[in-house]
Amino acid sequence: MKAGLYLVASILFIIAVVVATYMINPSTYSFDVFGIHLPSLPIAVWVTLPVAVLAVFSFLHILFYGTRSFFSVKKLKNDINKVDEVLYWSLIKEPTHIKFNNRDLENKIGLLFNSYIDVVDSENLKTTDKLKDVVKIIKKIESGKFVDLKREKFAKHLNQNNSIVIQNEINHINEDEKYALKVVDFKDKYNDKIVQKALDKIVETQDFYTLKKYAKDITKDRFFKLLGRVQKDNLLGLNIDILKSFMDSYNLDCKDYYRCADAVFKFLEPEKNLEIFKEYAKKDDKATAGYLYLLFRYEMLDKVKEVLDEHSNDDYKAYRGLLTLKRAKHNIKLDDFINEDNACR
Q: How many CA atoms lie within 13 A of 276 on its CB side?
A: 21
CB atoms within 10 A of CB 8: 11
**Rounded to 10 degrees, what is the CA torsion of 167, 168, 170, 172?**
170
Give pLDDT tens digits for 281-302.
999 999 999 999 999 999 999 9
pLDDT at 38: 67
Give pLDDT tens digits for 148-175.
988 877 767 788 889 999 999 999 999 9
Residue 224 lies in a domain: no
Residue 279 lies in a domain: yes
Domain end: 110, 131, 147, which one?
110
Number of domains in the chain: 2
Q: Residues 6 or more apart from 4 whose CB is under 8 A from it?
A: none
Domain that holds residue 106: 3-110
Strand partners, 234: 231
**Band of residue 233 on the pLDDT scale cut at 50, 70, 90:** confident
Q: pTM for this one?
A: 0.75
Domain end: 80, 110, 140, which one?
110
User: What phi and psi values does residue 185 have, to the nearest 5 degrees?
Assistant: -65, -35
d(CA 20, CA 160): 80
Give pLDDT tens digits for 164-216.
999 999 999 999 989 999 999 999 999 999 999 999 999 999 999 999 999 98
d(CA 194, CA 201): 10
Residue 326 lies in a domain: yes
